[in-house]
Amino acid sequence: MRKVLALALLSLPLFAAGEKREKTQEQVKEQVKEQVQERVRTGVNEELMKKGYEVFKKHCQACHVEYASPEKMREIVAIIRSGGKPPIAAPPMNEVAARVKHFFPEEEDFIEFVVDYITEPSREKGLCKPKAFEVFGVMPPIGKSLSEEEKRAVAYWMYHRYQETWEEMMRHHRPQGKGKGPKWMRE
């Protein structure tokens, strides 16, 4: 009897550990299920996402990098602030998307703005910071050589590819431990 009890006690931690592992797996399964359901709910059109990404790679990527990390952005901002030439030709696409979404949170308005802007860009219409125009100049009318379908696809991709809000982004881009960062990136 004592032997059985000792055995039972010995195997207890093992059993508990096994149960824990199983639970985690269960949680992962649940998480994946939720993610899939979220996709279904938000109804992201994968076909259109793929097409939009193709347009981006072919017509936008030469100037707009797809994603610049907060570290990279801080680096670029520091170069610009010290009067140097930035290593990029235009604001990174994650920043552009967050910026436009800040003014046009609704998908339809966002797409409308992007489609129009890339076809007929101007300083007046532009939502980018005055400093961005100063540093990079106005974007050329790239959209003139794209079909309506291609323009909508790339705008759709921009809307759904990025989730970070402008406020979150500005918090991350702030020079570490130093105040609030440059004023022109905060507004």
- 10 Å Cβ neighbour count for 173? 21
- Report residue 34 as tokens: 């939720």
- Least separation in angstroms between residue 162's CB and ligand HEC is 12
Burial of 22 (0-12, 13-18, 19+ CB in 10 A): exposed
* Nearest alpha carbon to residue 91 among 162, 177, 145: 162
- Least separation in angstroms between residue 126's CB and ligand HEC is 3
- Least separation in angstroms between residue 114's CB and ligand HEC is 5
- Least separation in angstroms between residue 63's CB and ligand HEC is 3
> Where along the sequence are the contacts to ligand HEC (CB under 6 A)?
59-60, 62-64, 89-91, 96, 100, 114, 117-118, 121, 126-128, 132-133, 136-140, 142, 154
Nearer to ligand HEC among residue 97 and residue 181 (C-beta)? 97
- Least separation in angstroms between residue 173's CB and ligand HEC is 17
Q: Which residues contact 70 (CB under 8 A, 6 or more apart)?
A: 169, 172, 173
User: Which string of b and e fits 69-98 if b means at least 16 CB within 10 Å?
Assistant: ebeebbebbeebeeeeeeebebbbbbbbbb
Q: Cα(26)–Cα(78) distance, rounded to whole angstroms? A: 46
